[in-house]
Amino acid sequence: MDINILQAKGVNKFSILLIAAQLCISMVLVAMLVFSIVGDLLSIITVISAVLLNLFCLPLSLLLYRSSKDEILQKIFLGLSMTFALLTISGVIWYILPLVLDLPWLEQAAKLLTIISYAPITISLYNVYKARDFKIEPWLQILIFFINFTLAVWILFFTAIYFDINNLFDVSIYAGSMIIDIVLLTMTSILVLAYMPNQLRYLFSIIFIFEFFSFLGDSLSLVGYLGLFDTTGHAQLFYDLMLISISAGLLVYSLCNIKITTVEEVNKKLSDTRQLMYDLIMQSPDATCIFNTNGDIVLMNNMFIKIFDVSGPYLERSFNLFKNSENLGDNIKQKIMRVMNGETVVLHGVKLFSMKDKDRFTFNTIKIFPVFTSDKKISSYITIVQDLTELKRYEDELVQAKSQAELYIDLMSHDINNMNQIGLGYLEMAMDSISDNEKRILLERSYESMINSTKLIDNVKKVRSVNENNMFLEPIDLGKVLNEVLIDCKDFPEREVNIEYNIEEGSYVLANPLIKDVFTNLINNAVKHSYGSVKISVGSDEFFIDGKKYYRITVEDNGPGVSDEMKPVIFDRLYRSRSRTGGGGLGLYLVKTLLEKFDGTIKVEDRVPGDRTMGSRFVVMMPAIGACDGRF
C-alpha cells in the first residue's frame, strides 16, 4: 500500500486514540468527584455508569439528533435523548436529593419516573416499526411475538402468585418495567432483522443491548422483591452494564460516522471521476478525443475513429494534434497552435480526409480547449469534432432548390410578364377593331385573364421581395395611404361598388410604400368574392393594448362571408379561392406577410357576429410610432 495512505491512516488512528483518552480521563475525573460524595450509597461502577449517562449518552443523543438528516434517525435519537434526560432526573431524585432532604417518598417517585422515562423511546421505536421499509419473513415475526408474549404472561402469572402486599408498589414497578422491556425487545428484535441490509441495524442493535441489560436488572429486582431469591447488588450491576453499554455503543457509532478524508478516499474519488469522464467521452454522439501536452492521443471514442476511418492502435501511433494539423493548411495550423497558450479554438467548415481513403472526407466543426491543473498549468487538450457532412449536403440541396425557385420567379417576372404585356397589347388592338359584341366579350375575358396573370406575377415578385428581408421601413401616414387607396379603387367596370369611408390623416406607422398593397388587396378581395351590388365600409380608430397605442383599420363588406372552417387558413399561401373569379391565391398571403414585416396583425370575422352570410370584416392592427413615449 502507498506509504502516504499508511501515514494518513496512522494519523487518523492516533487522533482517535487521543480523543478517546481525553474522554476517558474526563469520565474518571468526574466519577471520582461524584464518588467522594455518594461513596457510602453507591459503588464506583454505579457512579461511572451515572457519569456516562450524563457525560456521553445525553449530549451524544442530542448531537446525533441535530446532525441527522434521516427521519428515522431523528425519531430514534430524539426518543433516546428524552429517555436519558428522564433517567438523569430520576437518578438525581433517587440518590442525590435524599442526601439533602429527608423525604422517604422520593425513592418511590424516582422509581415511578424511571418507568415513565421509557415512554419516549418506546413511542419512537413504535413509529419506526409501523413505517419500516423492509419486510421480514412472517413466520419469524410471529415467532418473536409468541416467545415474548409467552414470557410476559409467565411473568405476570408468577408475580400474581408470589407478590407480598407489603411490597405491592415495588413489585408493580418492576413487573411493569419488565413488560415494557419485553415490548421494546420485541420491536428492536424485529427492527434489527428488518433493517439487516441497512446501516440502521447497528443503532437498533445498540438499543437492543441496552434493553436486554435493563430486562436482566428488572428481572433480578422483581425476583428479590417477590422474596424468591436474594438478589441484593446483582440487579444494580446489570443496570450499570446497561448504561455503560449504551454509552460505549453511541460513542463508537458517533466516531464511526465522522468523515475523515484520507489519501485512499481521495484516490477513490479520483478513480470515480476518471470513470465518469471515460463514460461521457465514449458515449458522446460527437467525436471526442483527449490529447496530452505533446499532442499524442490519450483517449478517444468510436466516433473519432469513424471520422478518420482507421483502427484505434494505428490512429494512436500515427495521429498527433499538432503535427497532423499541418495537413489542414497553415491558417488552420496557426489557429490550433493557439490552444497551447490556453485559448479555446473553434474551427468551422474544416474538411477532414480519411487516413485510409484519401478521397473520402467529412465537413466538420472542431472545438479544442485546454484542461488546467490546480496550479493553472495545462494538463491535456480536449478535442470535439462534430460531423456536419450530412447537414452540409442538405444545405447544398436547399441552396440548389432556392436557386431553381429564383430562376422560375425570374422567368415569370421578366420573360413571361413581357409576353403577357405583348399579348395584352394585341388584345387591346383586337377589341378596338371588332364591333361584334359576342366576339368582343370573348376578347375581354381573355384580356381579363391576362390581367390576372400579370397581377399574380407582380404579387409573386412582392412576396419574394418581402421574404428577402431587405425592406427599408420609414414613418408613413396611414390615413393618407388609405385615402389614396380608396380613391384608386372607386372604379370597377360592370360592377356596382359603393365604398363608404371617412379616414383622418396624421396616423403614422412604420412601414414602406408596399403598405398600399395591403388595403388594395383587401378592397379587391371584397369585390371579387361578392355578387351583385357590393357595399364596402372602411373605418379607422385608435386602440390600446398594455398601454401601447395601435391603429385599427376595419374593412367590411356585405358579401357571402367566410366560413368558420376557412377563417384559420384564409391567409395561408396554399389557400386558393373557389369563387367564380378563380384568383391566384397570393393576395391575402401577401397581406399577412407584409403586415408581419410591419409588426402588424390581421384577422377575419363575421360582420354580424354569428351570421357569416351577412358579410365579412377584416381587422388590421398596426402599432403607432412613438406609442410608448406618448408623442402620438
pLDDT of residue 456: 67
Query: At which of 363, 387, 411 does a domain end?
Result: 387
pLDDT of residue 468: 62
Do 518 and 608 lie in one domain? The reply is yes
Cα distance between residue 440 and residue 444, in whole Å: 6
Task: Give the CATH number for residue 437.
Answer: 1.20.58
Q: Considering the chain, what is the average pLDDT of its residues?
A: 79
Per-residue pLDDT tens over the stretch 39-96: 666 777 887 888 788 777 888 888 888 888 888 888 889 999 999 999 889 888 877 7
pLDDT of residue 461: 65
Cα distance between residue 521 and residue 528, in whole Å: 10
Q: Would residue 432 count as lying in a domain?
A: yes
Do 85 and 109 lie in one domain? The reply is yes
Mean pLDDT for 32-36 is: 69
Do 87 and 211 lie in one domain? The reply is yes
Q: Would residue 10 count as lying in a domain?
A: no
Grid coordinates given for 509 = 406607422
Query: At which of 438, 470, 502 does a domain end?
Result: 470
pLDDT of residue 586: 63
Do 115 and 164 lie in one domain? The reply is yes
Grid coordinates given for 481 = 395611404
| Contact indicator for 553, 502 with CB cutoff of 8 Å | no
Sign of CA pseudo-dihedral 450, 452, 457, 461: positive
From the list 576, 568, 569, 559, the residue with the least C-alpha distance to 611 is 559
The 8 Å CB, 24+ separation contacts for 339-343 are: 339/368, 339/369, 339/370, 339/381, 340/370, 340/378, 342/370, 342/372, 342/378, 343/370
Taking CA atoms, 572 is separated from 153, 268, 578, in Å, by 89, 63, 15
Strand 345-353 to strand 378-387: parallel, antiparallel, or no bridges (unpaired)?
unpaired
Q: Would residue 31 count as lying in a domain?
A: no
Name the residue with higher pLDDT: 375 or 90. 90
Mean pLDDT for 221-230 is: 82
pLDDT of residue 278: 85
Identify the DSSP state of 349.
E
42: helix, coil or strand? coil
Window from 219-223, 427-431, 484-488 with minimum mean pLDDT: 427-431
Do 343 and 399 lie in one domain? The reply is no
Per-residue pLDDT tens over the stretch 125-149: 888 888 765 567 778 888 888 888 8
Do 356 and 438 lie in one domain? The reply is no
Cα distance between residue 206 and residue 57, in whole Å: 12
Tell me: pLDDT of 631 over 50: no
Q: Would residue 9 count as lying in a domain?
A: no
Do 99 and 217 lie in one domain? The reply is yes
Mean pLDDT for 580-592 is: 63
pLDDT of residue 537: 92
What torsion, rounded to 10 degrees, do the Cα atoms 152, 156, 162, 163 define? 120
CA angle 346–348–352, rounded 5-degree value: 105
Do 117 and 185 lie in one domain? The reply is yes
Tell me: pLDDT of 616 over 90: yes
Do 133 and 160 lie in one domain? The reply is yes
Tell me: pLDDT of 629 over 60: no
Name the residue with higher pLDDT: 355 or 157. 157
pLDDT of residue 360: 67
Do 126 and 210 lie in one domain? The reply is yes
| Contact indicator for 249, 209 with CB cutoff of 8 Å | yes
Tell me: pLDDT of 4 over 70: no
Strand partners for 474:
511
Centroid of chain to Cα 606: 45
From the list 473, 471, 474, 475, the residue with the least C-alpha distance to 631 is 475
Strand 508-511 to strand 474-477: parallel, antiparallel, or no bridges (unpaired)?
antiparallel
The listed range with the strongest mean pLDDT (132-146, 352-366, 458-472, 476-490) is: 476-490
Cα distance between residue 30 and residue 53, in whole Å: 12
Query: At which of 387, 412, 438 does a domain end?
Result: 387
Name the residue with higher pLDDT: 314 or 563. 563
Between 106-130 and 168-194, two packed helices, what is the crossing angle to 10 degrees?
Answer: 20
**Overall number of domains in the chain:** 4
Q: Would residue 481 count as lying in a domain?
A: yes
| Contact indicator for 287, 306 with CB cutoff of 8 Å | yes
Query: Is residue 445 exposed (0-12), middle (13-18) or buried (19+ Cβ within 10 Å)?
Result: exposed
Mean pLDDT for 484-509 is: 83
Do 427 and 358 lie in one domain? The reply is no
Percent of the chain with pLDDT over 90: 10
pLDDT of residue 82: 92
pLDDT of residue 406: 66
> Would you list the DSSP string of 100-140?
H---TTHHHHHHHHHHHHHHHHHHHHHHHHHT-SS---HHH
| Contact indicator for 515, 478 with CB cutoff of 8 Å | yes
Contacts of 380 (CB under 8 A, 6+ apart): 290, 291, 292, 293, 298, 370, 371
Taking CA atoms, 573 is separated from 179, 315, 587, 592, 597, in Å, by 88, 54, 9, 10, 16
Do 223 and 198 lie in one domain? The reply is yes
pLDDT of residue 490: 73
Burial 228-256 (b: 16+ CB within 10 A, else e): eeebeeebbbbbbbbbbbbbebbbebeee
| 3-class SS letters over 227-280 | CCCCCCCHHHHHHHHHHHHHHHHHHHHHHHCCCCCCHHHHHHHHHHHHHHHHHH
Window from 181-185, 593-597, 627-631 with minimum mean pLDDT: 627-631
| Domain span holding position 155 | 44-256
pLDDT of residue 578: 42
Task: Give the CATH number for residue 524.
Answer: 3.30.565.10
Tell me: pLDDT of 335 over 60: yes
pLDDT of residue 464: 63
Q: Would residue 3 count as lying in a domain?
A: no
Task: Give the CATH number for residue 356.
Answer: 3.30.450.20
pLDDT of residue 604: 93
Identify the DSSP state of 430.
H
Strand partners for 479:
none
| Contact indicator for 559, 530 with CB cutoff of 8 Å | yes
Q: Would residue 25 count as lying in a domain?
A: no
Q: Would residue 20 count as lying in a domain?
A: no
Cα distance between residue 170 and residue 36, in whole Å: 29
Grid coordinates given for 352 = 477532414
pTM summary value: 0.42
Any idea which residue has 456521553 for its cell?
Answer: 56
Percent of the chain with pLDDT over 70: 75
Between 234-256 and 200-226, two packed helices, what is the crossing angle to 10 degrees?
Answer: 170
Contacts of 470 (CB under 8 A, 6+ apart): none
The listed range with the strongest mean pLDDT (313-317, 389-393, 419-423, 608-612) is: 608-612
Tell me: pLDDT of 577 over 50: no
**Rg value, the chain, Cα:** 48
